[in-house]
């Protein structure tokens, strides 16, 4: 008996000569900026990067002490050299990797310039970057699950905001963070179900459906917060998940404090990364879900229930968004404030696009956005002379650069955002 198989073909991106040259010019300009940093660093000045996490006695490592002027000159030469090679010869399929290296050199040069004559707890900043990246990454996972099945979910921001408030309220009433987390997830999944019914069953424009949910969540949470949570503080004082060190792994220098001596939400994020990556690309379930997002008519012909698959994907998307929203109140500040998600759901969508609709790519992009947020906070404390408003803008500037396609445009699922009409 013959069996039907599903084969999903993806377009291979062709890098144009113009984009190669533009990328090389960007790398050269970054090198020139690094050279300008060196002009502000006096010979003999050193930058000290503290590698022991603040407040912890596990995962300690020797401090890095680097000569600021010489380091900046070397980094400038490397960046300009790579940029010139990119302009005249190109790196082919390694272009984005080389660009990432040059950007990393620029960031390290910027930190060296800002820390010259001072000290900076680098591990502490990276640890903050991981925590700041948690809601972004979980939001990105939410988007990946939904859009891989062909349903655009811009309601992630509203789902996270609702989950944050419900988690704080239920956690405060029950004095139990686990029940608060469960309630937060269920509230987000309820909104996801509404989004699914509107966009899958009634075939309403998915952007409009998501926008309605965002507006509804913003209005309801703001009203309840002003009416009850701000008036009755006992309703806005939930317990938060403590730091949980993992034996042996927490003692690994640098890596241990970042990923293995932190709170529950980081571990959930790491587990979700592995599970979603394997499920999407190494299981029959993942193949069926991706088929529904690429060629729903062909998937239906092969016996796949397109509607059920999309509903399941949207509910799982709500699950991820709910955990991300609960992080704000149960894993971070321990209270709810109006609009406290601050656009992290939308930045999560940018991370999803940057990561080319893959969990691993979204994870890396989320860490990048978290790092941009962390570096803005830390360098404001160092007093670099850069206005604090510009430092606060940096995560959103990175978002706009990513969405502009500077690092290459990802290939979205072919049927993303397209309602399915069963014949």
Kindly write down the DSSP assignment for every residue of 268-315, as one continuous string.
HHHHHHHHHHHHHHHSHHHHHHHHHHH-HHHHHHTT--HHHHHHHHHH
313-335 average pLDDT score: 97
Residue pLDDT, tens place only, 18-71: 888 988 998 999 999 999 999 888 888 999 998 877 656 666 678 899 999 999
Kindly report, as residue ranges, where domains of CATH 1.10.3470 are found in the chain.
130-406
Residue pLDDT, tens place only, 94-131: 888 898 899 899 989 999 998 998 889 898 899 999 99
Can you give the pLDDT at residue 293?
Answer: 97
Alpha-carbon distances of 48 from 54, 71, 105, 391, rounded to whole Å: 15, 12, 17, 22
Q: What contacts 9, CB < 8 A, 6 or more positions away?
A: none
Looking at every residue in the chain, the average pLDDT score rounds to 90
**Between residues 400 and 311, the one the model is more confident about:** 311
**Between residues 2 and 296, the one the model is more confident about:** 296
Can you give the pLDDT at residue 1?
Answer: 42
**Between residues 83 and 257, the one the model is more confident about:** 83
Residue with tokens 């890098």: 15
**DSSP label at residue 385:** S
Residue 8 confidence class, pLDDT cut points 50, 70, 90: low
CATH fold group of domain 130-406: ABC transporter involved in vitamin B12 uptake, BtuC (1.10.3470)
Q: How far apart are CA 147 and CA 188, in angstroms?
A: 17
Name the pTM for this structure.
0.91
Q: How far apart are CA 280 and CA 138, in angstroms?
A: 16
In this predicted structure, the answer to whether residue 165 has a pLDDT above a threshold of 80 is: yes
**Between residues 353 and 191, the one the model is more confident about:** 191
């Amino acid at each position: 008996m013959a069996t039907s198989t599903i084969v999903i073909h993806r377009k291979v991106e062709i890098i144009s000569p113009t984009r190669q040259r533009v990328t090389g010019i960007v790398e050269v300009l970054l090198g020139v900026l690094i050279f300008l940093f060196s002009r502000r660093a006096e010979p003999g000045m050193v930058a000290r990067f503290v590698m022991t996490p603040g407040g912890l006695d596990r995962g300690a490592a020797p401090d890095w002490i680097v000569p600021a002027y010489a380091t900046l000159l070397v980094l400038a030469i490397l960046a300009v050299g790579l940029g010139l090679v990119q302009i005249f010869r190109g790196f082919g399929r390694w272009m984005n990797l080389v660009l990432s290296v040059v950007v990393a050199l620029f960031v390290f040069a910027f930190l060296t310039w800002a820390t010259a004559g001072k000290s900076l707890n680098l591990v502490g900043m990276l640890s903050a970057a991981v925590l700041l990246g948690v809601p972004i990454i979980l939001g990105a996972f939410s988007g990946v699950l939904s859009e891989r099945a062909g349903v655009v979910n811009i309601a992630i921001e509203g789902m996270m905001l609702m989950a944050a408030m419900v988690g704080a309220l239920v956690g405060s009433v029950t004095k139990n963070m686990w029940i608060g987390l469960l309630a937060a997830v269920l509230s987000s999944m309820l909104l996801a179900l509404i989004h699914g019914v509107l966009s899958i069953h009634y075939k309403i424009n998915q952007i409009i459906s998501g926008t309605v949910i965002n507006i509804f969540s913003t209005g309801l949470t703001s009203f309840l917060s002003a009416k009850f949570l701000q008036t009755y503080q006992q309703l806005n004082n939930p317990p938060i998940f403590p730091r949980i060190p993992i034996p042996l792994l927490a003692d690994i220098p640098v890596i241990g404090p970042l990923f293995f001596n932190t709170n529950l939400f980081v571990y959930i994020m790491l587990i979700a990364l592995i599970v979603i990556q394997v499920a999407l690309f190494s299981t029959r379930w993942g193949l069926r879900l991706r088929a529904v997002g690429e060629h729903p008519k062909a998937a239906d012909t092969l016996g796949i229930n397109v509607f059920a698959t999309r509903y399941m994907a949207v509910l799982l998307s709500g699950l991820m968004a709910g955990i991300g929203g609960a992080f704000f109140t149960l894993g971070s500040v321990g209270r709810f404030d109006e609009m406290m998600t601050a656009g992290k759901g939308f930045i999560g969508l940018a991370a999803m696009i940057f990561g080319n609709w893959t969990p691993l790519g979204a994870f890396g992009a989320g860490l990048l956005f978290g790092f941009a947020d962390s570096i803005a906070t830390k360098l404001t404390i160092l007093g670099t002379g850069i206005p604090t408003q510009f430092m606060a803008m940096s995560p959103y500037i990175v978002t706009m650069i990513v969405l502009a396609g500077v690092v290459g445009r990802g290939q979205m699922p072919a049927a993303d955002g397209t309602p399915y009409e069963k014949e």
